[in-house]
């Protein structure tokens, strides 16, 4: 009856172009024993407040078996998030808070709300690949703007774009602890960017996984602090509590909460999962601020260790800035280094991994191949020194080979 010769794997047109993601490959490679990885933005598992989670888990289970049942998104958690946003310099109401299963889901749902197939969006030339994946099924026209290493997104370039091109459906921004460039946007640019969004009536998806992870001084207020109509703020507990809880939120205009609820329902039922109850309980204990202080202390020590190790082990032509936020260094190596080649050598000979900078490119323009993103939150100070020494050895061998050739 069936005709095996004619059979093919069925797939939507866009899905025939799906490629395996670099980050997913790294997630699997990093899970292998023996690899010392700077590749992913992983938090430090040994710093998770396990005992406090255990207390919250058991308290929630005892108090409320319905925490495992279908039920509407938790108002108690929305209330806690309003307080948390105050720490970030943002005033919002419970009605503007929408609960998600993490920042990735937040960006995914907002894009579904805002973008038509074949529409147009603005991102930076170098940006978070997870957002590129969100865009892919829509096959949009991606307009990209450059990023200044010291002050963030090139807002003048954005203005020229908004003046000349079709109106985009959204602008994507990681304002603090930029991924991958680790820059935090200047105050002036924040204000300019929000004004552009208002004037051209283009919503901004502000992805803020790292805004609570500041080191020297408190982060500037996010874009959402300057505008509540055109900025949709995406928050997550993945970096400050734990990714395995799968809990995050959006702060957005209240009138869009109802349609977004329907979108969430279609994706995974708009309900309060068990871990949402646990996070709400944990936040109610008031432990978070102390935990964040501890994280900032630990992560800034790791950042400094990586900075010192780069100074010690990397060639003199390498350039980087010590980040004030987030979990990444962005390093520019001498021009003859191709970090794609280097990665293979590094994994094979020294069992150490990172992500080549060009993996973050969204632009059609050619992209430099001598850059890398290094994470500093995941490994201990000792392992950071060890891993950067290994990478330094690879670079030395690489430069010897380059000279020979």
Window 42-81: residues binding a copy of itself (CB under 8 A): 42-43, 45-46, 48, 50, 53-54, 57-58, 61, 65-72
Applying CB under 8 A, does 165 fall inside the site for a copy of itself?
Answer: no
**What radius of gyration do the chain's Cα atoms show?**
22
Q: Measured from the CB atom, is 23 or 301 closer to a copy of itself?
A: 23
> 83-112: which residues touch a copy of itself (CB under 8 A)?
101-102, 104-105, 108, 112
β partners of residue 99: 249
Q: Please, what is the angle between helix 288-313 and helix 381-404, to 10°?
A: 30
> 306-335: which residues touch a copy of itself (CB under 8 A)?
none
Q: Tell whether the torsion through CA atoms of 156, 157, 162 and 164 is positive or negative.
A: positive
Applying CB under 8 A, does 364 fall inside the site for a copy of itself?
Answer: no
Applying CB under 8 A, does 166 fall inside the site for a copy of itself?
Answer: no
Q: Which residue has the tokens 């890398």?
A: 372
Pick the binder of a copy of itself from 146, 266, 285, 311 (CB under 8 A). Answer: 266
Q: Measured from the CB atom, is 146 or 274 closer to a copy of itself?
A: 274
Name the segment binding a copy of itself (CB under 8 A); options: 40-48, 148-156, 175-183, 335-343: 40-48
Q: Provide, rounded to whole angstroms, the least separation between the CB of residue 18 and a copy of itself.
A: 4
Spatial contact of 155 and 168, defined as CB atoms under 8 Å apart: no
Q: Measured from the CB atom, is 173 or 184 closer to a copy of itself?
A: 173
Applying CB under 8 A, does 5 fall inside the site for a copy of itself?
Answer: no
Q: Provide, rounded to whole angstroms, the least separation between the CB of residue 268 and a copy of itself.
A: 4
Alpha carbon distance 157, 268 (integer Å): 38
- As given in the structure block, the two tokens for residue 231 are 């900025």
Q: Provide, rounded to whole angstroms, the least separation between the CB of residue 313 and a copy of itself.
A: 27
Pick the binder of a copy of itself from 39, 40, 97, 342 (CB under 8 A). Answer: 40
State how beta strands 97-100 and 248-251 pair. Answer: antiparallel
φ, ψ (nearest 5 deg) of residue 149: -65, -20
Q: Measured from the CB atom, is 28 or 216 closer to a copy of itself?
A: 28
Q: Measured from the CB atom, is 104 or 371 closer to a copy of itself?
A: 104
Distances (CA, A) of 231 to 83, 197, 205: 19, 8, 6
> 176-205: which residues touch a copy of itself (CB under 8 A)?
195, 198-199, 201-203
Alpha carbon distance 210, 175 (integer Å): 9
Q: Measured from the CB atom, is 136 or 321 closer to a copy of itself?
A: 136
Alpha carbon distance 393, 391 (integer Å): 5
Distances (CA, A) of 224 to 16, 89, 242, 250: 37, 9, 24, 11
- As given in the structure block, the two tokens for residue 377 are 């939150």
Residues 6+ apart with CB under 8 A from 51: none
CA 332 distance to own-chain centroid = 21
Applying CB under 8 A, does 269 fall inside the site for a copy of itself?
Answer: yes
> 113-142: which residues touch a copy of itself (CB under 8 A)?
113-117, 119, 130, 133-134, 136-137
Applying CB under 8 A, does 33 fall inside the site for a copy of itself?
Answer: no
- Count residues binding a copy of itself (CB under 8 A): 94
> 218-257: which residues touch a copy of itself (CB under 8 A)?
229, 238, 242-246, 253, 255-256
Q: Which residue has the tokens 């709400």?
A: 280
Name the segment binding a copy of itself (CB under 8 A); options: 84-92, 174-182, 271-279, 395-403: 271-279
Write the burial class of residue 19 (CB in 10 Å: 0-12 exposed, 13-18 middle, 19+ buried).
exposed
Applying CB under 8 A, does 293 fall inside the site for a copy of itself?
Answer: no
Q: Provide, rounded to whole angstroms, the least separation between the CB of residue 336 and a copy of itself.
A: 33
Q: Provide, rounded to whole angstroms, the least separation between the CB of residue 196 and a copy of itself.
A: 9
Name the segment binding a copy of itself (CB under 8 A); options: 180-188, 269-277, 286-294, 366-374: 269-277
β partners of residue 145: 124
Q: How many residues does the chain have?
A: 405
């Amino acid at each position: 009856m069936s005709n095996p010769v004619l059979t093919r794997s069925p797939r939507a047109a866009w899905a025939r172009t799906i490629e395996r993601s670099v980050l997913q490959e790294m997630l699997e490679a990093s899970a292998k024993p023996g690899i010392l990885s700077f590749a992913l933005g992983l938090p430090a598992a040994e710093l998770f407040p396990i005992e406090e989670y255990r207390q919250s888990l058991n308290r929630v289970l005892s108090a409320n078996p319905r925490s495992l049942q279908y039920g509407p998104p938790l108002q108690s958690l929305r209330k806690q998030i309003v307080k948390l946003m105050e720490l970030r310099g943002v005033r919002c109401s419970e009605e503007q808070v929408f609960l998600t299963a993490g920042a990735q889901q937040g960006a995914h749902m907002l894009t579904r709300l805002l973008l038509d197939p074949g529409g147009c969006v603005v991102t930076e030339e170098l940006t978070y690949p997870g957002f590129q994946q969100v865009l892919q099924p829509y096959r949009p026209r991606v307009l990209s703007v450059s990023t200044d290493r010291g002050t963030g997104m090139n807002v003048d370039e954005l203005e020229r774009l908004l003046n000349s091109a079709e109106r985009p459906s959204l602008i994507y921004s990681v304002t603090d602890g930029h991924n991958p460039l680790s820059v935090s946007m200047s105050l002036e640019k924040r204000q300019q960017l929000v004004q552009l969004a208002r004037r051209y009536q283009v919503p901004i998806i502000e992805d803020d996984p790292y805004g609570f992870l500041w080191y020297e001084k408190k982060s500037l207020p996010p874009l959402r602090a300057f505008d509540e109509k055109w900025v949709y703020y995406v928050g997550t507990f993945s970096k400050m509590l734990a990714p395995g809880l799968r809990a995050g939120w959006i702060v957005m205009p209240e009138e869009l909460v109802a349609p977004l609820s329907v979108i969430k329902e279609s994706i995974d039922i708009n309900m309060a999962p068990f871990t949402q109850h646990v996070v709400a309980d944990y936040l109610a204990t008031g432990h978070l601020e102390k935990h964040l202080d501890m994280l900032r202390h630990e992560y800034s020590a790791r950042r400094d260790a990586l900075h010192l190790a780069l100074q010690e082990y990397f060639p003199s032509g390498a350039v980087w800035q010590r980040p004030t936020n987030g979990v990444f260094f962005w390093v520019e190596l001498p021009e003859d280094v191709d970090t794609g080649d280097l990665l293979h050598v590094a994994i094979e000979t020294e069992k150490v991994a990172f992500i080549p900078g060009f993996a973050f490119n969204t632009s059609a323009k050619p992209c430099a191949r001598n850059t890398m993103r290094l994470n500093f939150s995941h490994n201990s100070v000792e392992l950071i020194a060890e891993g950067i020494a290994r990478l330094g050895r690879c670079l030395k061998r690489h430069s010897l080979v380059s000279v020979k050739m």
